[in-house]
Amino acid sequence: MSIKIAVIGLGYVGLPLARLFATKYPVVGFDINSNRIQELNEGIDSTLEIDAETLNNVLVSSLSDSNGLLCSNTLEDIANCTYYIVTVPTPVDKNNRPDLTPLYKSSETVGKVLKKGDIVIYESTVYPGVTEEECIPVLEKVSGLKFNVDFFAGYSPERINPGDKEHTVEKILKVTSGSTPEIGQKVNDLYKSVITAGTHLAPSIKVAEAAKVIENSQRDINIAFVNELAKIFNLLEIDTHAVLEAAGTKWNFLPFKPGLVGGHCIGVDPYYLAQKAQEKGYHPEIILAGRRLNDSMGEYVASQVVKLMIKKGVAINGAKLLMLGITFKENCPDVRNTKIVDVVHALQDYGIEVTIFDPWARPSEVHHEYKLTTTDELPTATFDAIVLGVAHKEFTTIDLSKLKKSNGVLFDVKGVLKEKADGRL
C-alpha cells in the first residue's frame, strides 16, 4: 500500500505534523476553515508555529506521488489518502464536561472517503475508550465499512508545546498504538520514519489514550500544589519563589512554579479523565481538587492586587490597571482557555478599568472568544496598577516605571521582572 497522508485539522498540532510528514510523503492538510487554508497557501501561519520559509518549502499546488503538502478544504482532495490523522481540538463545555463534537464531525468527514485498507489515527487528547467507543462507530456508520476488517485505527497522542521552538514535533518522543498488533507496528513505523526522537509502541489504543491524559493531569496536580503553597506562604509573608529555589537544591525536587493554568491541555485534560472515572462510579478526589484550586487562581490574583492597591491608598472603583498579556502562555499567540480572562473579569467586578496589552494576541480573536478589547501597541498613559500576567519576552524590556503612577502597584504573576514588584505569586 502506497502511503498518502491526510491530516485533519491544521491548528497548533496538525500543521507542524503535516509539514513534517510532507518532507517524506505526499500529504493533504485538510481544514474546514477556508480562511486558514488561504493563509497557509500564501505561506502564512497565524499560529506562528511554522515560519514562512519552512512552510513554503513543502507547499505544493497539486498532489503527486512525491512528497509535499497540499492545504485544502475540499473533501475530494483527501479521497485517495491511505492514512487519515485527526488532530482536532477536544475542549470542555461551560460545565467542564468533555465536548467531543469536533471529533464526531471530523470522523464523519473521514467516513465519507474511507476505503478498504485505510488506517485512521487520532491524536486529539481524550479519555480512555473514546477512539474505539465513540469515533469508530461514526466511521463505520458513515462509511459502511467494518472496523478491523475493512479499515483500521491507531492512536498517537500529540505532545506539541505551542511556542516552543526547541522541543518541536520531530524532537519529542512519540507514543503510538494500533487496533491490532500488525496495525500498531504500521502506525509506529510511520511515525518513526519522521520522528528523530524515536517512538514508544503502546500495547493498546486505550493505554496510549490513558498515557496522554495523565501526562497533563500530573502537571496540573503539581502546579496546584505549588499554587496552594503560594497562598500559604503569602499569608506567612514568605517569598514563595525563594522557598522553591531553596528546596530545588535537592536532586529529586520537582521544579514547578505557581501560576495560572490555562491552555488547551493542562487546564482541560484532567476533566476528561475525571469524566471517565465518574462514568465507572469513581469520584476522583486529587484530580478534581487540583482543578478547583487552579481554577481559583484568577480571582486570587485579582484579590491580591486589590489588597496592595488599598494599602497604597489607591481608590479601587474607577482605578486604571494595565494587564500585560492575554495569551495562555508566553511567546505564543494562543488565547484558548487563557486564565488571564478570569483575572480581568475579577478586577472588573471590583470596578477597575482594565487595559489589556499583548503584542502576540490578535485583538479580533480575543474579542471573538471573550468579548474583550485588547491592544497590540504599548499604551502611553499611566496606571494605578500594572499586572504582568504573561511572560512575553517583550515585557522584560519595558520601562514600567514610566507607565505606573507614583503610588501605583506592580504585581508580577510570573516572577520574571527584573524590577522589584509589590507582589507576586
DSSP 188-245: HHHHHTT-TT-EEE-SSHHHHHHHHHHHHHHHHHHHHHHHHHHHHHHHTT--HHHHHH
- pTM score > 0.75 for this model? yes
The answer to whether the CB of 425 falls within 8 A of the CB of 362 is: no
Q: Supply the residues annotated as catalytic.
A: 265
Measure the CA–CA gap between 343 and 122, rounded to whole angstroms: 34
Query: How much is the pLDDT for 1?
Result: 64
C-alpha distances (whole Å) from 161 to each of 124, 211, 415 are 14, 17, 21
Cell 520522528 belongs to 195
Cell numbers at 108, concatenated? 464523519
Kindly give the parts of the chain with pLDDT less than 50.
Answer: none
Query: How much is the pLDDT for 19?
Result: 97
The answer to whether the CB of 41 falls within 8 A of the CB of 59 is: yes
Query: How much is the pLDDT for 415?
Result: 87
Element (H, E) at 364: helix 363-370
- Residues with Cβ < 8 Å from 121, sequence gap 6 or more? 83, 84, 85, 86, 153, 154, 155, 156, 187
Query: How much is the pLDDT for 418?
Result: 80
DSSP 98: B
Element (H, E) at 92: none
